[in-house]
């Protein structure tokens, strides 16, 4: 069985970068808009607690934001330096 670690790194780099890019350009503006609408709707404290939940990123996006730079650096180091 031949395991290609370089192909895995490239795949994970594109996967995490794609998740990050989709969130930045598509889902994050919608979350911001929804949060702004909820703040305009009511100013009570309970409603502001709900607003924090709206602004929070999904776990998969948090993981993609965390892992993308690390995987990219490993890919670059492994490909061009080692």
State the Cα–Cα distance between residues 59 and 31, nearest whole angstrom: 14
Q: How far is CA 27 from the centre of its chain?
A: 10
DSSP secondary structure of the chain: ----HHHHHHHHHHHHHHHHHHIIIIIHHHHHHHHHHHHHH---HHHHHHHHHHHSPPHHHHHHHHHHHHHHHHHHIIIII-
Provide the domain count of the chain. 1
Residue 15 lies in a domain: yes
| pLDDT tens string 19-47 | 999 999 999 998 888 888 877 765 555 55
Domain range holding 57?
5-21+40-81
Residue 30 lies in a domain: no
Provide mean pLDDT across the span 51-64.
78
Residue 28 lies in a domain: no
């Amino acid at each position: 069985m031949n395991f290609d670690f370089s192909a895995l790194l490239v795949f994970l780099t594109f996967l995490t970068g794609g998740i990050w890019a989709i969130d930045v350009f598509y889902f994050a503006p919608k979350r911001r808009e929804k949060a702004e609408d909820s703040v305009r709707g009511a100013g009570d404290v309970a409603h502001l607690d709900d607003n924090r939940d709206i602004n929070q990123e999904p776990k998969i996006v948090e993981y993609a934001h965390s892992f993308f730079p690390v995987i990219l650096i490993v890919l670059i180091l492994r490909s061009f330096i080692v």
